[in-house]
Structure 1
Amino acid sequence: MIDDKMRTFIEVVECQSYTQAAAHLHITQPAVTQHIKALEEHYQQKFIDRTHKSFHLTKMGELLYHYAKTQMHNEKLFEKQLHDIRPSLIIGSTLSIADYYIPHMIAKKIILKNYHCEIVVANTQTLIQKLINGEVECAFVEGQFDTTLFDYHLLKKERFIAVASPYHPLAHQTITFEQLFPYPLFIREKGSGTRDILENYLHQTIYSLSSFSQLVEVGSLSMIKTMLMDTQAITFVYAGVVEKEIKNKQLIELHIDHFDIFRPMHFIYLQSHIHKKYYQQLFHMLTQ
């Protein structure tokens, strides 16, 4: 059973206010203060820094928050097991992986095993938060994640490439990265794995996203691919996302000198999750 002090701590963190937490929990503000103080005395750590006017969670506070959220989620799963309630398997996936890498891999096996299943598609950043909150059980992601919080398995390594119309002025030649800047860039929303890869690459140079003549943020990969065919814009995606379009000569890969990026795609779940062994078995079953 989750200690009331842990529940109070979670509420304080999510409200970023002792007063609001007290109102939500229907207890007094001094009681909230005592709960937080008791936790800090027990663990001999400072979890919330109140020396500033704004709410500030310490590094140890972040660790406790992740731990407390996981334990609360595990308790709910345990209660379902006690009452013989069959839990739904909630799998997360980033857009690129969901649309182009795992459908054929998992569809038949999920049906064959008769899973009660929900698949949540979102960007990497959103999925990581959903995993921490217990809203998603496990996930296929392509971006960065904290390896001290999550266990992970490599799905595959994939090439990250620049793509454009076959009629683009830079098509069918070897170019420098700087030659791309005069052209519009179609890019995914903040928090997406593909955007992170491009931004991390640019951070290692003297350039940034603002170096491109125009940025157009689009949440749909299908829409990006269609718009590329009718414009002189470019985008950066995993090779598997445009495999069919390149084969059908609707799009081409732009050949950039000294641009050779491979990025891993992972299956992840919380290290402290009550069902972590089950997720290990699930990954091996899906990838056999």
Structure 2
Amino acid sequence: MLDKKMHTFALLATTGSYTATAQQLFLTQPAITLQIKALEAELGLALVSYQHAQLHFTAAGQQLARYINKTDHESQKLLDQLKAPTKKRSLTLGCTRSLSSFLLADVLHQLQSQRKNIQCQIGNTNTILKALTAGDIDFGLVEGNFDKSQYDFVTLRREPFIGVTYANNPLLAATQPLSLTALLAQTLLVRESGSGTREIFQNWLTMQNARITDFQQVIEIATPTPLIQLLTSGVGISFMYRSLVTAELAQGKLVELPLRGFDLQHEINLVYLKNSYFAAQYQAIAAQIN
């Protein structure tokens, strides 16, 4: 089992503050400082540093914090299984907002007969990955980009990523296929920073030597549903997974933008901790979803 100093350090990595860490542990700030210095001396590693009076974590410190969180989470989960091997297990998963609109219900339907309790956290890609690293969830369903050297994953499928607009947008009367330049005079509806959907589109724009701020107007919306509602009411253009707007496309409320050179698909992945003891279980869940 990990000792007290390691648990203190992991909490410090989460809060980013000696004061907040001390408050949560009901200790003084000097006591927290002594524990961290003792841990550094014991390991022979620099774990934290100060730059312009701001607390920063070294590469070794970041890696150690991930290890502590993983070990704590998986140790408790294993102990629970050892104590009651035949008992139905609870499960906590994370899911991005986009996937919650067209994939999550199917996943929960597959899992509900095998699990005693299921908890689901919804957030953008960054939020889900942070929850996974912190040990707050067992695995995440994400469609955004992530550091594949830091996590293990199973690719569930590849999803078409398209541009869409309302059916009578005058833009559609122009010569087709459309150029990116023709789109820049439009209002762009886009997800918030940290969203995988936004990052995918942003990366494509970068390859075209363009930025989101190049559009005439930008409206940021944190969830897909109001964004799609705004589109169908006759406002702007947006970029998203086709599965999010299958019904609206079929009903003619939205139209796919015939954008020149825009042919994107992106992976949807089930992501879990690197070298997880429970990797086989997560892979089995992924096989069910597929």
* TM-score normalized by the length of structure 1: 0.89
In the alignment, is the contact (CA less than 8 A) between 2:112 and 2:118 conserved in 1?
A: no
Match for 1:277 among 271, 280, 283? Answer: 280
**Higher mean C-alpha deviation, range 160-169 or range 195-204:** 195-204
Secondary structure class of the residue paired with 1:151: strand
2-structure distance, mates of 1:109, 1:10: 34
Tell me which residue corresponds to 2:75.
Answer: 75
Deviations 1:30-59 (A, max 9, x none): 553443234334443221113642111111
Tell me which residue corresponds to 2:97.
Answer: 95
1-structure distance, mates of 2:117, 2:3: 31
2-structure distance, mates of 1:227, 1:246: 15
Tell me which residue corresponds to 1:167.
Answer: 168
CA drift at 1:102: 4.4
* Number of residue pairs the alignment of both structures matches: 286
1:139-288 paired onto structure 2 within 5 Å = 139-171=140-172, 173-287=176-290
Which amino acid in 1 is paired with 2:221? Answer: V
1-structure distance, mates of 2:229, 2:131: 31
**Higher mean C-alpha deviation, range 109-118 or range 218-227:** 109-118
In the alignment, is the contact (CA less than 8 A) between 1:77 and 1:87 conserved in 2?
A: no
Distance 1:99 1:51, change over 3 A: closer
2-structure distance, mates of 1:263, 1:89: 26
CA drift at 1:29: 4.9
Tell me which residue corresponds to 1:10.
Answer: 10
Distance 1:51 1:91, change over 3 A: closer
Deviations 1:260-288 (A, max 9, x none): 2221111100024342221111111222x
2-structure distance, mates of 1:19, 1:239: 46
1:124 counterpart = 2:100: no
2-structure distance, mates of 1:263, 1:39: 42
- Any unmatched runs of 5+ in structure 1? none
1-structure distance, mates of 2:115, 2:137: 19
1-structure distance, mates of 2:122, 2:22: 34
Which amino acid in 2 is paired with 1:74? Answer: E
CA drift at 1:197: 0.9
In the alignment, is the contact (CA less than 8 A) between 2:88 and 2:114 conserved in 1?
A: no
In the alignment, is the contact (CA less than 8 A) between 1:70 and 1:272 conserved in 2?
A: no
1-structure distance, mates of 2:30, 2:223: 49
**Higher mean C-alpha deviation, range 186-195 or range 164-173:** 164-173
CA drift at 1:143: 0.8
2-structure distance, mates of 1:251, 1:131: 35
**Higher mean C-alpha deviation, range 204-213 or range 19-28:** 19-28
Which amino acid in 1 is paired with 2:114? Answer: K
Which aligned runs of 4 or more in structure 1 are off by greater than 4 angstroms? 26-31
* TM-score normalized by the length of structure 2: 0.89
In the alignment, is the contact (CA less than 8 A) between 2:270 and 2:286 conserved in 1?
A: yes
In the alignment, is the contact (CA less than 8 A) between 2:183 and 2:215 conserved in 1?
A: yes
Tell me which residue corresponds to 2:59.
Answer: 59
1-structure distance, mates of 2:287, 2:191: 30
Which amino acid in 1 is paired with 2:192? Answer: E
